[in-house]
Structures are given as structure tokens and as C-alpha cells.
Structure 1
């Protein structure tokens, strides 16, 4: 099955009150685990590639791995660039066969962000590729994206931004953050702000970045077998499920996959000190990815049986 865009995915998600999972991929095992989960759940997927993943695995390698995955499983899958930092990166991915790209101009002024996003939109739409943009800024660190402070999205600016750029979806800041250390105290999302943006942009897909929940069983497992992850905490899953009923059509999940893989590998190597074949520890790691993603699809995103 060929890659699909996100427009039709999001139209149905918005109408039926669920979100599509956007899972970051870095290697074969992660892709296989995600695909296996979605195949069992009959769920649409967005596989997204960050700048760090492009440096680590190479854009062509990841593209071909996903092509192979689509031969195995007949699923609607979008291949998405996560946090494209400039026009050139977006152009490279568009020309390289991605079906969706994100241009992240959130570090720029409002007018500069509009100009950059509009340029990407014009190039992408000419090639049949969808564009996600970002307005507002998330705190935290993920690959090459980092910010010490959050800047929540202004609803009035969001409307103007969408109208002037023609972007297909918009990532907003309402309290989520990148990485494993999201909240020092009680986790809160600004649902009043989200509802206002949704009401002002009816039927327009909203995106939440930094939406891993950091399951504490994997934090505990990693630490038990030599890790030093500390007081990591994420976005409670019930808040993410609620967000999907407020026009959020795409929820990004990366840290939870990293955490599950690393914890399982640490445990396996500690319990099997004589093993050195990567296939031995990557097999349970792949299964951990599958189980994590399947749980998210069924219980958080609500997108099981949506194809």
C-alpha cells in the first residue's frame, strides 16, 4: 500500500473524536513494533522522522524500511518529518517521498514564522504533501529541539496564522513538553485555551507534541537494572484522551517508546550476562514497542478499528 497523506486521516479523526498516533522511528525494530501494533488494532498511523533520526539512520534508510513495512501490512501510513527546522530540510523530505512535513518556525517571530511556513506550504502542496506548522513553544529537550520555557499559543494569533499560511494542521502549546521530565508538580493542560482555539478554528486539526506519559513501571525497571532516570513524569493518559475530543487529531509519542525499549534491554542484559547477540535483546525490545503502541492506540488515542 502506498503512503497516505494526513488530510483524510484527520478529517475522520476530528469528526469521530479520536486522535492518530504519531510515533517517532529510528530503526527497524521500532518500525516493526509500531506496525505490528497498528495491524492488530486496524489503526491508521503516522511514522515520523526527527532531525536526530535522519542523522542516525539516514533518510533513505528509514524511507526504505517503511516501504518494506508497507509490503507486510496493508495499513494507511503517513511518513512525516518531525520538527523540520528550515525550508531546505522540508524540501529534501518532500522530494524524498515523505507524505507530510512539519515546518517548525516557533523559534521565530510571528511574521517570520508565517513567511517560512507559507513558503513550505506552497512547495509542499504543489507536490501533494501536507504541512504541519507550530505556533507557541514547548519546553523541554528532544533531539535537536530544545527550549527552557513554554510559550502558550495565543488563540487569536492561531486563527490569523492558519489563514495566512494555508497550513493543514497546527501544533500548539497548552502545557505539554518534550522529553521525560515534563512536570515538577501536578500535571495540567490548558483545556480552556484548547477549547477556544478549537471553537475559533472549527474542523481544523490540532496537534499535541511532547505527549508521552512516561509509564512509571518502565522508569522503575530501567533504574532497577542500572539506569539513573530520576523523577521523570509525563502527561497523564486521561488528559490526552480528553484532548482528542477537543479537535486534537494528532498526538506525538516518542519518549515512551525509548523508555520501554531501554528498560527491557537493560533488564534482559542484566539477567542474561553471557548473551551478546543483538537479536536476543532486540526481540523483547521490539515486543515492548508493540505492546506500548497497542496500549496507546486502544486506550489513549481511541483509533482502533478506524480503517
Structure 2
């Protein structure tokens, strides 16, 4: 059942849980994610990251995501992750996406606001939800995610990019976005050191904006950390790198023991492993 991000996050806010947003750059990942959600009877967000256009273009993967969402037996939003311009956002909406993220966080504050307002005006007219980012998500440089910001930042300087709670309130009021991607200590990609999450900052952001908070770089945290951020206002968790890594390692293990492998067998191995990893994530995000 295809729904908007706003619809999903309103229910998540009522129930004090988070909805998982899973980037799906391959058919195996889409199938694994949807099967996991249906088996658990849980809502999900199928996402296409602009950075993954190098793997498969939006015009190919987008319609596949929309079709899977329409046919799913659970609520599913289809989301553009880290869109960087209005043209990409329009393309996603034309394909049938029900949610878009416009990421102008690398711009100056006022320019960020103006870009986001333009996207909100366009998207809301078509009943499409909008997520935007304030502050900057850093990258570990592992997992291919560093291209979100075109460069990685040293972890010791990461606090310089955290979201300011007072500015977040002004940003949300001026842009009328449906969800805010906030920076409070997570990073894109694979964690090379233990994350240092600023829970107090997150709580103040949520209290100030009175809108759902999105956590990017959601892979690799402990179950306790997931539950803590959910209890402090996170309603959407982006999760990709560790599921993709699990699929890759399962294929590697299969190849090491199988003397006569076929490519189609690798896709089955990857899909099943991704599915099980996603089921674990969804179960934790339910905050039960």
C-alpha cells in the first residue's frame, strides 16, 4: 500500500517508534526489505539515494520501488534520499514517489531555506512529503557513502556540523517541511570508532521543532542507542550500509565453499541475508 512519509511518521509519533528507511539499489535488496516488512506486518520506507544513480539510475529503479510499494500488504512510502536539486526531485515525483529529501545543508543557511521552500511548494501541491537537512552528516569514508557530502570529515571535528536546536526551530517554521534530518553524532557508512551521540541535543531539537526527526547513518548502533534516540524524537531511521555489508559477506562465504557457483544463486543468498538483517532492524525500530 503506497502512502506518504507524513502519514507514516504521524503514526510513528503517536506510537513512539521509528520507521526504517532502506536504500534499495538492487532488486535483491527491494525484495528482501519488502518481504521482511510483510512478515513483521510493519510499515517501511523504500528509498533511492541520488548517489546510487551510479549503480542504477532513478528512471530504472524508481518505477520498481513504486510498484513494490503499491503491491505490498503493509504501508510503504517511496522516498528520494539526498536529492540535491529540484530537477531530481521533480523526476522522483513524476515517477510516483510519495516523499523526497532535498539536501541543501552544504549551502549557506538562507540559501538552504530558499531551496527547501521551493521544493516544499512544488511537492506539497502533489501531496508529496518533504524531508530536509540542517547541520551536516559526516562520513566514515567506508561503504561508499562519503559522496553524499563529496568529502569526509574527521570525527574529532564532527561536532562543528551538529544541528543547533534553536536554529532548527526557525528552519522548520520557515520551510514547513514534514521531517528534519538532524546531525547529532551519527555518520554515513561503516563506523570505524564507537559513535558519540549527543542525546540531549536530539531531545532539544525534537522539543523545539515539534516535527519528526530523521536519523541518517542509522546502521551500526546498539539496540540501546536505537531505543534512546527513538524515545527522544527520532521517527525515521535510515539504514543501509550494514545490511549491504551482510549481503556481501554472505555471498563471499557462499563462494568460498561452493565449487560450482552460479550468479543467480548469489542473488538468492544476498536477498535472504539482507532480509534477515532488515527484520532485526525493523524489530528494534518498533521500540517494543
TM-score, scaled relative to structure 1: 0.86
State whether residues 227 and 287 of structure 2, in contact with CA within 8 Å, keep that contact through their aligned partners in structure 1. Answer: no
After superposition, give the CA deviation of every residue in 1:115-152 in whole Å (9 maximum; x if it has no partner): 10001000001111000000001111416313433300
Gaps of 5+ in 2: none
**Deviation of the 1:72 alpha carbon:** 5.0
Secondary structure in 2 aligned to 1:171? strand
Q: 1:285 aligns with which of 261, 264, 270?
A: 270
Report the Cα distance in structure 1 between the residues aligned to 2:263 and 2:22, rounded to whole angstroms. Answer: 23
Gaps of 5+ in 1: 214-234
Partner in structure 2 of residue 30 of structure 1 = 29
The reply to whether residue 153 of structure 1 matches residue 163 of structure 2 is: yes
Report the Cα distance in structure 1 between the residues aligned to 2:192 and 2:197, rounded to whole angstroms. Answer: 11
**Deviation of the 1:238 alpha carbon:** 1.6
Q: Cα distance 1:26–1:250, how it changes in 2: closer, same or farther (>3 A)?
A: same
Secondary structure in 2 aligned to 1:132? strand
The reply to whether residue 201 of structure 1 matches residue 209 of structure 2 is: yes
RMSD: 1.6
After superposition, give the CA deviation of every residue in 1:84-106 in whole Å (9 maximum; x if it has no partner): 01121112111221110000011
**Deviation of the 1:54 alpha carbon:** 2.8
Q: Cα distance 1:132–1:196, how it changes in 2: closer, same or farther (>3 A)?
A: same
State whether residues 82 and 103 of structure 2, in contact with CA within 8 Å, keep that contact through their aligned partners in structure 1. Answer: yes
Q: Which moved more, 1:63-72 or 1:111-120?
A: 63-72
TM-score, scaled relative to structure 2: 0.91
Secondary structure in 2 aligned to 1:144? helix
After superposition, give the CA deviation of every residue in 1:189-218 in whole Å (9 maximum; x if it has no partner): 10110111111123x1000001101xxxxx
Partner in structure 2 of residue 274 of structure 1 = 260
Partner in structure 2 of residue 59 of structure 1 = 58
Runs of 4+ in 1 over 6 A off after TM superposition: none
After superposition, give the CA deviation of every residue in 1:163-206 in whole Å (9 maximum; x if it has no partner): 001111000000000011x353x43210110111111123x100
